[in-house]
Amino acid sequence: MQTEGAWNEGGKGPSVYDTDKAGRKAIDWKIAIDNYHDFDEDLDLMKAMNMNMYRFQISWSRVVPDGDGKFNEEGIQFYEHLVEELVKRGIEPMICLYHFDMPLALAEKYDGFLSREVKDAFVRYGKAMIDRFADKVKYWIVFNEHNLYFTPTAYHYAGIISHNELTDNEIYTTFHHTMLAHAELAAYIHETKDALIGGMLAYTQIYPATKLPLDNFLVHKVNEFNYWNLCLVYSFGHYSKEVMQEVINRRIDMGWQTGDEMILKKGGADFISFSYYRSHLLDGTKIDETSSAIRYLNQGFLLDDALPKNEWDWAIDAEGFRYSLTELYSRFRLPVFPIENGIGWREDWDGINEINDDYRINYHRDHIQALKDAMFIDGVEVLGYLGWGLIDIPASSGNIDKRYGVVYVDSIKHDQRDMKRVLKKSYHWFKKVLASNGDDLE
């Protein structure tokens, strides 16, 4: 929904984003950057910049308009063509099956992933896409930033539109249904295809706000619930003992059914992928320890005044990126793959001069160097590095003013909508970096 546009074309059904029911105040998902009608220029820009992989989402409502009925061959053909054009240019495709845009029909009927029926519909859709594309696409992600479904704001991501004050039971149930879906699709791809499937986290490096033992312990709790719990499924096929003890202690109903344990056991991932943008502190004095640990991160969030930040107070911390890579790999021994990394900045093109985004170059230089240090000093097995993103797009919040791309999209929020692509200074820097496989960062 952040690139395609064509919200009601080609047989596509509406998603929660098309009607602003995702808990977001979207500017315009109906056009985005209009990739549905013309993605060749963008693929040519990728090729010219020496990119060799591109991650994209298949829109569930484009290929199954109501989420659980007849498949839309015209929508599937759009992705067939995209994959063919990527392969033709020597760019490895990576498919993500879900990036927050629940088919509206399923959100209205069942409240999204609160329902097992929606989980089953998603698995049906996912298996069909694997059957259709896995012979050409070797890298797969099921859920974008999967741990976000285990937070108080899970309604943003899981198609829950009836209310946004979720109980602990609802959060646990939503997460459990999505984790079962991941496990079922991981098992299916391993049984039927020669392809790799990964779990994905939204990873923010968290440090204790003080030297107090309580702050350090609560950082552990947040990591265990927000990150390690998922990674234990990816690596070993079971939830964290600590998380399941909370289920017992708090008498949480997470919708567990007979056989779920065996589903999780078969759902191992081939790699752990993640997004990384920033770090922050955790202040234990703000946390209500009588609440569920899934709420600690929201309660104890604190900015680190020692680090530089962008306008949105996202701290710039390349060392935290290295720490994230080494900790994930050392704990779970699966290859790691950062597939989102970048800095948002407010930019306006004057129509003549190149945008001088040295802040973006500096950010990526430091983070790629941190990745190299993790590999060659710490011994981390890293599969690759994907930035967010090549081209300015509406963020999942709907706001285009926070731009991440190395290519500027002109007039995206104006009436003329010419969508002109304009190269920023960082585009030329990345072209050189990628040509050298990261050896030349100057």
Query: Is 340 one of the annotated active-site residues of the chain?
Result: yes
Alpha-carbon distance 131 to 315, whole Å?
A: 41
- Active site residue: 4, 145, 184, 246, which one? 145
Please give the Cα distance from 210 to 217 (Å, whole number): 11
Amino acid letter, 103: P
Burial class (CB in 10 A: 0-12, 13-18, 19+), 342: buried
* Distances, alpha carbon 45 to alpha carbons 93, 292, 305, 340, in Å: 15, 47, 38, 19
Q: Which of 170, 246, 327, 340 is catalytic?
A: 340
- Which structure tokens are listed for 98? 């879900």
CB 208 within 8 A of CB 220: no
The residues, ordered by sequence, that sit 6+ positions from 20 with a Cβ below 8 Å of its Cβ are 26
| Cβ atoms within 10 Å of 195's Cβ, excluding its own | 18
CA distances from 238 to 132, 171, 243 (A): 29, 18, 11
Has 246 been annotated as catalytic?
A: no
Report how far residue 128's alpha carbon sits from residue 336's, in angstroms, rounded to the nearest whole number. 27
Please say whether the beta carbons of 177 and 116 come within 8 A.
Answer: yes
Pair 79, 72: CB distance under 8 Å: no
Q: Which residues contact 101 (CB under 8 A, 6 or more apart)?
A: 1, 15, 16, 17, 22, 59, 60, 61
Q: Of 357, 374, 356, give the one whose Cα is nearest residue 438.
A: 374
- 414 CB contacts (<8 Å, ≥6 apart)? none
d(CA 428, CA 136): 30
Q: Which residues are catalytic?
A: 145, 340
